[in-house]
Amino acid sequence: MNYPNGKRRMLKQVKTKAERQQTFSNRGMTLEEDINQTNDYYLTHQICVIHKKPTPVQIVKVDYPKRSAAVIKEGYFKQASTTDYNGVYKGRYLDFEAKETKNKTSFPLHNFHEHQIEHMKSVEKQDGIVFVIIHFRTHEKTFLLPAVKLFPLWDRQYTNAGRKSIPYQYILDEGFEIPTNYPAIIDYIKVIDQVFFTH
E strand or H helix that includes residue 24: helix 17-25
pLDDT of res. 182: 87
Residue 23 CB partners (closer than 8 Å, separation 6+): 15
Region of 182 (left: φ > 0; alpha: ψ -120 to 50; beta: rest) is beta
Question: Rounded to whole angstroms, how far apart are CA atoms 39 and 181?
Answer: 13
Quote the strand ranges of 67-128, DSSP E: 69-77, 85-89, 92-101, 106-108
Rounded Cα distance between 95 and 51, Å, is 10
- Look at residue 7 and tell me whether its pLDDT is greater than 60: no
Question: In the prediction, which pLDDT does 19 show?
Answer: 46
**pLDDT, average across residues 175-192:** 94
Query: With contact defined as beta carbons under 8 Å apart, do 38 and 197 qualify?
Result: no
What is the sign of the dihedral through the CA atoms of 162, 116, 35 and 130? positive
What's the pLDDT at 29?
A: 57
- Whether the CA torsion 20, 25, 27, 30 is positive or negative: it is positive
Statement: residue 18 has pLDDT above 80:
no
145 or 10, greater pLDDT = 145
Mean pLDDT of the chain: 83
**pLDDT given for residue 185 in this prediction:** 93
Would you tell me how many other CB atoms lie within 10 Å of the CB of residue 111?
Answer: 16
Assign 199 a pLDDT band (cuts: 50, 70, 90). Answer: low
Strands annotated E in 102-153: 106-108, 129-136, 141-146
Taking only the tens place, the pLDDT of each residue in 60-94 is 777 777 767 777 767 665 556 689 999 999 999 99
Is a pLDDT exceeding 90 seen at residue 37? yes
Residue 193 scores a pLDDT above 70:
yes
What integer pLDDT is reported at residue 181 of this predicted model?
86
Report pLDDT for 80.
Answer: 63
- SS3 call for 81: coil
Q: Can you list the domains of the chain with their CATH numbers?
A: 17-196 (3.40.1350.10)
User: Is the omega angle on the peptide bond into residue 183 within 30 degrees of 0, that is, cis?
Assistant: yes
How far apart are the C-alpha atoms of 191 and 177, rounded to whole Å? 8
Check residue 56 and give its pLDDT: 63
pTM of the predicted structure, to 2 decimals: 0.76
156 Cβ contact list (under 8 Å, min separation 6): 162, 163
Residue 94 CA to residue 25 CA, distance in Å, equals 25
- 162 vs 106, which has greater pLDDT? 106
